[in-house]
A and B are shown apart, each in its own frame.
Chain A
Amino acid sequence: MPDSFNEDLIALLPNLRRFALSLCRRSDLADDLVQITAERAFAAKDRFDRSSRLDAWLFRILRNAWIDHARRTTTRGTQVELDDAPDAGIVDGVRDMEAVLMLRKTEAAMAELPDDQREVMMLVCVDELTYKEAAEVIGVPIGTVMSRLARARLALSVKLGIK
């Protein structure tokens, strides 16, 4: 059965890793989570519903792998500060100092959000999942996604001085 599943999955590795980094903030662990996700995805490939978004399905697998890991690791004190955060300022060729500062401020504001709020921000605002898709990834009702997301956006606006 020739299909694009494998190539699609490989094309999504940067997105998976970015989501993993936002959850665990440790690049070695993020790499492991991505690898576990790929292993599980290949094994469960036949159960993927082709009419739904592959990234949302993979995010859910990755998130479950992360929860498993977090439950196994009772102490989480040794998280390393993330130093390979996306450097959008350079990638996009933005040289304007003010814009770079805004990016840094946004990254910092995201880092300060509670984990459950940062997670919905990544899924909806960065990876552009719908509320319903994000709710399926996280395994909560859509209303919960919306209230977390609204609280996160309001908190972020205050921190960034958006009025």
Chain B
Amino acid sequence: MTIDDETLMAFADGQLEPGEAAKVAKVMASDPTVAARVALFSQSRLAVRGAFGAPPPVPDALTARIRAMAEADAQQRAGDTAPPNVISLASRRRMVPVWQLPIAASIALGVGFLSGWSGAPSDQSNGGLSIASLDNLALVTALDTEKAGARTQIGEGAEVALIASFLDQDGSLCREFEHDTAGRTMVAVACFRDEAWSVEFAVATAAPDADGYAPASSLDALDAWLNASEAGPPLSEAEEAAALDTLR
């Protein structure tokens, strides 16, 4: 009887059902090569556990910021509306305290409405807020077909990057994407309702630094909006593929 590596590994990790584990133990007792294989899986685990045993200490500043968040959260849940005094200006710049979420969310929604994105033809002069109307066929095609993580050209000098897919509270498929034109990046969320995509959120992001690394603060408004609108967790690749299939 041969036992595959995955089963031997699961045995070494103590993750087999008792009945199955007993079978492996029996084979091990009579076959030294099987026993050696199990030992190899045990030792590799021990080696890694040993090398990464104790996590490195967390920087004090980070712990302090998160403690402040925890306190803000506790106060907010206790119904205390006074802003916590433990949050320094420096840390406020980098996060949306929980007690500011409704305000941030309504501002973000305002942006979405102002942009006039109900499907009207694109108007590039519209205060710079309009990036594309959803009769932009290339954008619609990208929303319909591209997997999260894909980046495609849509027209002259414009690119769209699909960031993530999720279901909103009504179970409609929504897609977070970035729209890049020269020097401007918009983060937007479009949801598929009544057989068409409608843009529900849009905001210009802060400019990334030289490494192309946008600080967390640029996405606070999006996070606030996602929380306020009770968006579900991001879909896995398989879930997303299935959801996109239903659009066809």
B94 lies within 8 A of A43 (CB): no
Q: Which residues 23-42 of A have a CB within 8 angstroms of B?
A: 29, 31-32, 34-36, 38-40, 42
Q: How large is the interface on B (under 10, 10 to 19, 20 to 34, 35 or more residues)?
A: 35 or more
Distance between Cα atoms of A31 and B163 in the complex (Å): 21
Distance between Cα atoms of A143 and B58 in the complex (Å): 34
* Subset of 23 A-B contacts with CB under 8 Å: A6-B73, A13-B66, A14-B58, A31-B62, A35-B62, A35-B65, A38-B66, A64-B233, A67-B234, A71-B161, A72-B214, A73-B214, A78-B211, A86-B56, A146-B6, A147-B6, A150-B5, A153-B9, A153-B41, A154-B40, A156-B44, A157-B40, A162-B44
A6 lies within 8 A of B74 (CB): yes
Q: How large is the interface on A (under 10, 10 to 19, 20 to 34, 35 or more residues)?
A: 35 or more
Which among B13, B101, B227 has the highest number of chain A CB atoms within 10 Å?
B13
CB contacts between A and B, total, < 8 Å: 177
At the interface, yes or no: B168 with Cβ under 8 Å from chain A? Answer: no
A121 contact from B48, B148, B233, Cβ within 8 A: B48
In the complex, per-residue mask of B232-248: 1 if CB is within 8 Å of any chain A CB, else 0: 01101101000000000
**Beta-carbon nearest neighbor of B164 in chain A:** A68
Distance between Cα atoms of A19 and B65 in the complex (Å): 19
A86 lies within 8 A of B53 (CB): yes
Give the Cβ gap from B246 to chain A, nearest Cβ, in Å.
19
Distance between Cα atoms of A10 and B65 in the complex (Å): 11
At the interface, yes or no: B221 with Cβ under 8 Å from chain A? Answer: no
Distance between Cα atoms of A146 and B62 in the complex (Å): 34
B55 contact from A17, A92, A102, Cβ within 8 A: A17
Return chain A residues, CB-CB under 8 Å to B178. 72
Give the Cβ gap from A80 to chain B, nearest Cβ, in Å.
10
In the complex, per-residue mask of A54-92: 1 if CB is within 8 Å of any chain B CB, else 0: 000000100010011001111100100000111110011
In the complex, per-residue mask of B96-107: 1 if CB is within 8 Å of any chain A CB, else 0: 101001000000
At the interface, yes or no: B229 with Cβ under 8 Å from chain A? Answer: no
Q: Which residues 1-41 of B have a CB within 8 angstroms of A?
A: 5-6, 9-10, 13, 15, 36, 40-41
A156 lies within 8 A of B233 (CB): no
Distance between Cα atoms of A110 and B48 in the complex (Å): 8
B148 contact from A45, A71, A84, A86, Cβ within 8 A: A71
Q: Which residues of A are in contact with B by a Cβ distance under 8 Å? A: 1, 6-7, 9-10, 13-15, 17-18, 21, 29, 31-32, 34-36, 38-40, 42-45, 60, 64, 67-68, 71-75, 78, 84-88, 91-92, 102-103, 106-107, 110, 121-122, 124-126, 130-131, 139-140, 143, 146-147, 149-150, 153-154, 156-157, 160, 162-163
Give the Cβ gap from A4 to chain B, nearest Cβ, in Å.
11
Give the Cβ gap from A48 to chain B, nearest Cβ, in Å.
12
Distance between Cα atoms of A109 and B176 in the complex (Å): 36
Return chain B residues, CB-CB under 8 Å to A39. 69, 95-96, 223
A139 lies within 8 A of B67 (CB): no
B50 lies within 8 A of A40 (CB): no
B69 lies within 8 A of A38 (CB): yes
Distance between Cα atoms of A122 and B239 in the complex (Å): 25
Q: Which residues 52-87 of B have a CB within 8 angstroms of A?
A: 52-59, 62-63, 65-67, 69-70, 73-74, 77
A32 lies within 8 A of B216 (CB): yes
Distance between Cα atoms of A60 and B232 in the complex (Å): 13
Distance between Cα atoms of A26 and B236 in the complex (Å): 25
Distance between Cα atoms of A65 and B189 in the complex (Å): 16
B223 lies within 8 A of A88 (CB): no
Give the Cβ gap from A149 to chain B, nearest Cβ, in Å.
7
